[in-house]
Every structure is written in structure tokens, then in C-alpha cells.
Amino acid sequence: MLRPLRILLSPPKCPLTRCCSGYVSRMRFVNRLQEDDDACAAALQNGRIFLFHSLSPLLQRTNRETFRTSALTASGTQPRPQPRPEHSIQNQDHNQDHNIQYRTKTRTKTRTFSTELCRNSGQNLSWDLLAVLVFYVSDLQPILKNLGSDGSLLKESVLIGCSEQNQAEFCLDVGQLDQAAVEEQCGGTFVDLRKAFFLLKGAEAPLVAKGQALLRWHQTNRFCSATGQPTQRNQAGSHRFCSSSSTTYYPQMSPVVIVLVSDGTRCLLGRQASFPRGLYSALAGFCNMGETLEEALRREVAEEVGLEVQNISYSSSQHWPFPHSSFMVACHASVSPTHSQVDVDHSELEEARWFSLDEITCALQVKAPPRRGDLPVIWLPPPHAVANRLITEWAGLQRHGKDGP
Ligand SMILES: NC(=O)c1ccc[n+]([C@@H]2O[C@H](COP(=O)([O-])OP(=O)(O)OC[C@H]3O[C@@H](n4cnc5c(N)ncnc54)[C@H](O)[C@@H]3O)[C@@H](O)[C@H]2O)c1
């Protein structure tokens, strides 16, 4: 039965509006787009798109004096107008959303840019801004056409969610187009996710990581592992299907356990030889087939530092895009102070040692990796990493006189 187009384009009003939150209707909307290809194709026409090139997200970087908007042309035949400095960020109002007006050829639009300030590498303590560029499909279509792409490229977008303004959000990899030409047309730069991830605003980083993970999964799962035949994706990109073997493939994450071990007054951190100088983190490891999280956690700590932990408690979890998609489950655990002698397996870790609350407090204050020539300093994974959360939680509990779990 045909549904009215109005319902296909935006999250349906819940019939039980009084008891159904915006969150619930957005989640149901996304779920329906994953199930219904026609609804998803319609939502794409009205949606927002994050662009990637060979898995690097399109970002905008500028200085604090002038926050330049991306000037988009509504018509690809016209020369792209120079970006106009329409918004200045005064002082250090970082972590803010900025509603910025910009003009297309035919109309004025307002787009919300979120920005995070990060320390520039120069000596003058100026700041850089980094933000994800988001395009409305209606703006992107003429740009893609101008770059010689036919309409079929847009259909390769994958659904990643729904904004609070009830617009479906998609990611699209334009790796088949000339990178410099896309950057020039779109007014942004494709930045390797490893560099970008820690400089994006809290809410943007996981969204971009999720988009990259989904795009990567599609790029590496084009064929059925049973028959070798090509697989077909659904419109949302939430699964692929092999019609020869009737197998449905879903995107996968590898479960990883990460644990902060405490002996009551100190916490245990380690570093791999590949880590940047001075960086220490909580112990982590992939779960083996058939293991529970608790078994994986106990095994990893035993293997890496030769300790037997107890009192395991869950803290939080996160999707981690590096090197591929991991599902990090973060826990606290403890050892008795009388059984805290560390015996490092140097094939896994370069070093592991106990840190006092004072050392952790100092390390948490280091907000940027030390630069070449700086004095050696101990620093910790940044706030986007769940390891930072574990360490911060432990420090908070220590300050309030309670140990970990
Ligand atoms: N978000 C954070 O705060 C945080 C902190 C530390 C580590 N991590 C992540 O946790 C993961 C594990 O950490 P690690 O130090 O053990 O990493 P690692 O990269 O040293 O991996 C250790 C070993 O696990 C094996 N391995 C790799 N991929 C696997 C998979 N999918 N399934 C099973 N085994 C696999 C390989 O033999 C590899 O040498 C890494 O992806 C790392 O980036 C995240």
C-alpha cells in the first residue's frame, strides 16, 4: 500500500505523542529507514550528508579570528563565490555551536557549525577550529554533477542516524572523484580520521567514526564469503545480502575489554613500544571466541602484567574506529596491595607500572601531546577515549576517599 510522501520524508508523529519522546520517534524513524528501501531513498532526498574521500572525513579548519563558512553554489555552472567572513568567534568560546548564515546563489540559509578549539603548533598560542562539514542533499547534488558524477553516486550513501532536527543523516565516500576538486568545490579538507578524531567536538567524533566504520565495512564486504558472488546492500546500508546463498551480512565490531586495575591507592597503566613518547593507557585486549568479558579481562591482565584481578565492575563502553571497528567495554578491577607485583610480558607491553593519585592528577592536566624538544612528560589518552574516562573516574573516587569498584 502506498504511504503519503509526507510520512516518508520525516519522522512520523507518534500516535501517542503525549507519551512518545522525540528520541523514541527518531529511533523508530531510523529503524524504519533500515527496513524500507523506498522510505530511505525518499529520506535521502531531504537528508544531510557527511562526505568522505577514501575514508577521510571532510572537515573545515580555520583560525579563531574569522570563522569562514563554506560558500556553496546552487548552480555548478557559476564560479564558486569567495567565502565571506560572516562570523567571528571572540575570546575562547570553544565547544559552542555557531549558527552561521551563508548565501547560496538563490537563498540565504543558516547552518549550525560546531567547533572545538585545539592548540596550534605555533608559539603564539593561537587556536585552530575544526568542524565537520554537513551538506543538504539539495546543495550537494549540483556540486556532484559539476564534478562529473551522475546521480547514482548519492545512492551509495549509508544511513548513520537522525539529527535532533529530525533529518536523516548519511555518509558518502566520494573516493572515485578527484579529491582536490571536491575540496575546492565544497570548501573543506579531507583529513585522516586518526588526526581528526581527537580534534572534533565530542558529539561529532563518534558520528564521523561510525560513518567511516560503515563505509569501510561496505568497501570490504562486497562479496559473499561462502559463494564468492557479489553481495547487494539495502538502501540504508545496514546490511548486505547474497542472493546465491541467501546469506545476510551485518556490520561487525570486535569486542575489546579495557580495564583500569587499582591496588587501593594506585592504578596500573601500561604503554606499548608503538605509543608516542610519554603516553600511558589502561590495559586492553581483544576478546577471544567464546569468552565472557570477565574471562577476557582476567586473561588479558594475567598475560600482560602477571596479576590476578578481582572485583570487576562495568564503567561504560564505546565504539572505537582504530585500526578497525572495536566495541570497547570499559571496566574497573582491583588487586590486593599484597599481590601487586607487576611482571610485564615485554612481547605485549614496553612497560607497565603503578601510578599514584598525584601522578595521575598531573597527567590529566596535560591537554596536548608534548612537542619535539619539550621536556619528557607523562600524558594520557584524550577525553574521547574511554581509557581517559576510566582514569578520570578512578581519580574522582580516590579524591572522595573511595577506591575503584
Ligand atoms: N579507546 C580507548 O581508550 C583505547 C585504549 C587502549 C586501546 N584501545 C584499543 O583497544 C584495542 C586492543 O588494544 P591492544 O592494546 O590489545 O591492541 P593491539 O593493537 O596491540 O592488539 C593486540 C593483538 O590482538 C590481535 N588482534 C588484532 N585484531 C584482533 C581482532 N579483531 N580480534 C582478535 N584479536 C585481534 C593481534 O594479534 C594484535 O597483535 C585496539 O584496537 C586499541 O586501539 C582503545
- pLDDT tens for 15-73 read 444 456 799 999 999 999 999 999 999 999 999 999 999 999 999 865 543 333 332 32
Span from the CA of 322 to the centroid of ligand 1 (angstroms): 9
pLDDT value of position 261: 98
* Interval 196-213 mean pLDDT: 88
- Give the model confidence (pLDDT) of 342-401 as tens digits: 999 999 999 999 999 999 999 999 988 888 888 889 999 999 999 999 999 999 999 987
Percent of the chain with pLDDT over 70: 77
355 alpha carbon to ligand 1 midpoint, in Å?
23
Looking at residue 203, its pLDDT comes to 84
Domain boundaries, the chain: 47-217, 224-252, 256-399
Average pLDDT over residues 155-172: 94
Q: What whole-number percentage of the chain has pLDDT above 90?
A: 67
Q: What is the pLDDT of residue 158?
A: 98
Which atom of ligand 1 is found nearest the CA of 326?
Answer: 41
- Rounded distance from Cα 208 to ligand 1 centre (Å): 20
Q: What value does the mean pLDDT of the chain take?
A: 82
pLDDT at 87 over 90: no
Using the predicted structure, report yes or no on whether residue 99 has a pLDDT greater than 60: no
Ligand 1 atom at minimal distance to the Cα of residue 324: 41
pLDDT in tens, 136-154: 999 999 999 999 998 899 9
176: cell is 572515485
Atom 25 of ligand 1: nearest residue by CA position = 286
Nearest-CA residue for ligand 1 atom 7 is: 284
Please tell me the residue having the least CA distance from ligand 1 atom 5.
Answer: 387
What is d(CA 275, CA 363) in angstroms, rounded to the nearest whole number?
A: 16
pLDDT of 101 strictly over 60: no
pLDDT in tens, 278-311: 999 999 999 999 999 999 999 999 999 999 999 9
Mean pLDDT of 98-119: 36
* Least confident segment among 78-87, 121-130, 181-190, 387-396: 78-87
Is residue 130's pLDDT more than 90?
A: no
Quote ipTM for the complex: 0.95
Alpha-carbon distance 73 to 80, whole Å?
A: 6
Give residues (CB < 6 A) around ligand 1: 254, 256, 258, 281, 284-286, 320, 322, 326, 328, 381, 385-387
With the most atoms of ligand 1 within 8 angstroms of its CB, the residue from 193, 256, 316 to mutate is 256
Give the CATH architecture of domain 256-399: Alpha-Beta Complex (3.90)
Regarding predicted confidence, which is higher, 136 or 10? 136
CB neighbours of 179 closer than 8 A, spacing ≥ 6? 53, 54, 190
Residue 58 has a CB neighbour count (10 Å cut-off) of 27
Q: How far is the CA of 253 from the centre of ligand 1 (A)?
A: 12
What spacing in Å lies between the alpha carbon of 388 and ligand 1's midpoint? 16
Whether residue 369 has a cis bond before it, omega within 30° of 0: no
- pLDDT for 91 equals 27
Q: Is the pLDDT of residue 88 over 60?
A: no
pLDDT at 213 over 80: yes
Dist. CA 257 → ligand 1 center (Å): 9
Is pLDDT at 174 greater than 70 in this prediction? Answer: yes
DSSP code at position 1:
-
Mutation choice for ligand 1 from 268, 280, 286, CB with most ligand atoms inside 8 A: 286
